[in-house]
Structure 1
């Protein structure tokens, strides 16, 4: 499992056991990785599941919002955390 700059797991849970995390810490990753990790995490969840994503890449705010719009996911909350960091709360959309 990949670690953040602080040594924490990017995704909590255990993917080998099929346990998906409900939060992603993508701070330190640059475009397009935050959007790609978010898309992958949403694809692993059931429709209606919530995912919290924290990222600090300046383009993440645009990329993740666009990902949600075209993927049919609902952005429930966007919170600026200071600097370029932002936290998204996303509800996964229905299956295509």
Structure 2
């Protein structure tokens, strides 16, 4: 299933900036950054729960926000993109 993950981390102090980097690093391990604090991740249910647990461990629940949007398996018809940097195909070939 395709999951869109968004986060807002309070970066007023060094601890917040560190949390921001850690959350982004974990998201990069599971998906593709599509905007500064937005990732699209192709996950199964187990991977999703594992990533949620990792991110919730990092975040400060009093200062930060984390959202998961579940687009499912038929996500192609649920995404429209306009403007710069066209979207990528999560199930397409990855060229490194």
TM-score by length of 2: 0.33
Relative contact order, higher structure (CA 8 A, sep 6+): 2
Higher helix share goes to which structure? Answer: 2
TM-score by length of structure 1 reads 0.33
Flag the structure with larger Rg: 2
